[in-house]
């Protein structure tokens, strides 16, 4: 079936979303046509607001619409435990468990020599600046088990050896190879966290 061009354009945009194929994109586009105009406008505004108003927290790198995210500014969270994640989606996954009371650091990527991505291209040096003057801190490495994740973990371990105040642990094994943290169910994530292993 040949859709009108404006509808095909909408379908093509939906297909750009992760996990959305042709059929799903068609259903989503057609469903929008059945929604009243006010709701469609509100939907468009919500998308624009999310894109324009959210920005990385200058401390941890997670998304926030505030100057500093609520987690970093919270006095009830344990500042001596920092969970290191590839991206902000991992933060949301941990927060859904409701069991982690530490803070976070988002790298915004992983070291990947084959893709010409080095330590200077991700938020590693921000992490070092953050922890080097702390009296004691545990870094929980929560990166996906992949070549890039292992490379980044090894770099962090080597770089932070000169800081005796830093203890490094990582999520326990059992997480499938290559699976992003935000795809794990809450029970698996909690088990990996509670059974984390020291690597320093």
- Shared domain check, 31 and 129: no
Range of the domain at 28: 5-53
The pLDDT of residue 115 is 94
Same domain, 37 and 111: no
pLDDT at residue 76, rounded to an integer: 96
* φ and ψ of 100, to 5 deg: -95, 120
Residues 153 and 182 in one domain: yes
- Check which CATH number belongs to the domain holding 16 and give it: 1.10.8.420
Both 178 and 117 in one domain: the answer is: yes
Residue 181, pLDDT score: 74
How large is the C-alpha radius of gyration of the chain? 20
* Shared domain check, 61 and 33: no
- Which CATH number do you get for residue 100? 3.40.1360.10
Q: Cα–Cα distances in Å, from 71 out to 103, 106, 123, 167, 186?
A: 7, 13, 18, 21, 19
Whether 171 and 130 map to the same domain: the answer is yes
Same domain (yes/no): 83, 149: yes
Q: For the chain, how many structural domains are there in total?
A: 2
Q: Could you tell me the pTM of the whole model?
A: 0.83
What pLDDT score does 129 carry? 92
Query: What pLDDT score was predicted for residue 197?
Result: 74
Residue 158: per-residue pLDDT: 93
Residue 134: the pLDDT is 86
Residues of the chain with pLDDT under 70: 1, 173-180, 183-185, 195
Residue 198 confidence (pLDDT) = 76
According to the model, what pLDDT value does residue 189 have? 73
Selection from 143, 126, 141 nearest residue 60 by Cα: 126
- Report the 10 Å Cβ neighbour count for 67: 9
* pLDDT reported for residue 1: 63
């Amino acid at each position: 079936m040949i859709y009108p061009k404006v509808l095909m354009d909408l379908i093509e945009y939906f297909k750009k979303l992760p996990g959305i194929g042709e059929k799903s994109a068609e259903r989503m586009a057609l469903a929008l046509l059945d929604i009243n105009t006010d709701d469609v406008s509100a939907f468009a505004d919500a998308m624009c607001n999310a894109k324009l108003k959210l920005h990385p927290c200058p401390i941890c790198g997670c998304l926030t619409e505030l100057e500093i995210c609520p987690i970093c500014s919270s006095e009830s969270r344990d500042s001596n435990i920092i969970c290191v994640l590839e991206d902000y989606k991992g933060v949301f996954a941990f927060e859904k468990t409701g069991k982690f009371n530490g803070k976070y650091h988002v790298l915004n990527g992983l070291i990947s020599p084959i893709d010409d991505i080095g330590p200077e291209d991700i938020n590693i040096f921000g992490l070092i600046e953050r922890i080097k003057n702390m009296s004691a801190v545990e870094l929980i490495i929560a990166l996906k088990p992949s070549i890039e994740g292992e490379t980044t973990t090894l770099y962090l371990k080597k770089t932070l050896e000169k800081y005796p105040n830093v203890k490094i642990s990582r999520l326990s094994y059992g997480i499938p190879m290559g699976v992003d943290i935000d795809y794990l169910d809450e029970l698996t994530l909690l088990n990996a966290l509670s059974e984390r292993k020291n690597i320093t």
